[in-house]
Structure 1
């Protein structure tokens, strides 16, 4: 599989995971974090099911699909507010990528890209202070390093 398959076609992506699960499925998301969806089998099933209609739409319209991982609040500063250890958060980040890869493997669309989402350090809507490019690179290096890189992993 190429790193970015069939870029000559249209690609779709999902439309608001946390908003949908919170407001349409009444699933509690502390700190609006999808990292908390790995707590119970029911939440995990809701997470996996969330992507299926989007994948179906892409398939029906012969479009590619970008599977954005549920790792928006997966950076180490979020571990304490989410009542997790950094190791637990790292495991959830890896599990999120594994879920995205399993959804891709179960679909017959040949143009599905897994995107490891790196969220902001603070609140995406009110970041507080902005980091320099170097600070952002250093800070987010942990989350990038903790995510599997290759399609085969």
Structure 2
């Protein structure tokens, strides 16, 4: 396995985790200011919760003999969001490194002799993922995200993923920062119920624009924080960009982003149905290898996804 790639088993999926933040809020009653999980790394109680969550998820993979990507809980650990929680640049560098080290320790304790468990950092958008009017240009995005990516690199991360991206400009900047830092990246866009990015861009157009601007430097692309019903029609194409799509982290709920943002109760959907939908997506798009969950999902959804797709 190279640092740039997921494990080379194209006929079998590699699982990753589910909806960490919604699990913490709705299943464990944890208050998450700014929807940020990374401060839990600061306490033994918080680390115990994170350990419980990941062991529930990666246990699904080990039971089925599947590989598993361990993604650090650092989605909000960047300058804008960190400042709102009292973290300056030095504190963010420390916590991003701690996040990678935490996942490396989990890997060392759970990785078997025949399994692969790469450790990835996690990057989120500079602005609120549900407010597409707040967009970040490529140059600004490259400068903004570079410190976090450098922290991942220094801590020995294998790669990182940027999730819930709403427009191609910020994705371009993240890809440029990753290339400059020498750390492989996977870029994950979110879509609205019409299968388009919150910016209004088509999924394929966004992927093609990023590849054109970066000489196709991202390792692959993903979709997250949307239900399969929202984007599967966008995948009904034989356009070359579709082969750049390497994974899915779908929501359990069919609700729109606006409805989810205002929800006071968890909508877990139907784990068995979600697994069946993943199977259909993989049959239509064989390049979909990395499979996990997003809002409203937990290890039960990962179990059904693994069962349906192996």
Corresponding residue to 2:85 among 82, 96, 116:
82
Equivalent-residue separation in structure 1 for 2:51 and 2:108 (angstroms): 13
The answer on whether the counterparts of 1:5 and 1:111 sit within 8 Å (CA) in structure 2 is no
Alignment of 1:2-21 (within 5 A): 2-3=2-3, 4=5, 6-8=7-9, 9-21=12-24
Deviation at 1:69, TM superposition (A): 0.9
User: CA offsets per residue over residues 9-61 of structure 1, 9 Å max, x none?
Assistant: 31111111111011100111111101221232111110122100111110111
Gaps of 5+ in 2: 159-310
Greater Cα offset, 50-59 or 78-87: 78-87
Equivalent-residue separation in structure 2 for 1:127 and 1:114 (angstroms): 30
Is structure 2 residue 98 aligned with structure 1 residue 104?
no
Equivalent-residue separation in structure 1 for 2:132 and 2:70 (angstroms): 25
Greater Cα offset, 76-85 or 29-38: 76-85
Report what 2:41 is aligned to. 38
Deviation at 1:85, TM superposition (A): 2.3
Deviation at 1:100, TM superposition (A): 0.7
User: CA offsets per residue over residues 80-112 of structure 1, 9 Å max, x none?
Assistant: 211222211221111110011111111133211
Equivalent-residue separation in structure 2 for 1:71 and 1:150 (angstroms): 12
Aligned to 1:7, the other structure's residue is in SS state coil
Query: Against the structure 1 CA distance between its residues 121 and 59, is the aligned structure 2 distance closer, same or farther, given a 3 Å change threshold?
Result: same
Deviation at 1:6, TM superposition (A): 3.1
Deviation at 1:150, TM superposition (A): 5.2
Equivalent-residue separation in structure 1 for 2:41 and 2:64 (angstroms): 31
The answer on whether the counterparts of 1:72 and 1:118 sit within 8 Å (CA) in structure 2 is yes
Report what 1:134 is aligned to. 139
The answer on whether the counterparts of 2:16 and 2:70 sit within 8 Å (CA) in structure 1 is yes
Report what 1:149 is aligned to. 156
Deviation at 1:2, TM superposition (A): 4.0
| RMSD, aligned α-carbons | 1.7
Equivalent-residue separation in structure 1 for 2:130 and 2:81 (angstroms): 15
Deviation at 1:5, TM superposition (A): 5.7
Report what 1:91 is aligned to. 94
| Aligned residue-pair number | 151
Structure number with bigger Rg: 2
Q: TM-score scaled to structure 2, two decimals?
A: 0.46
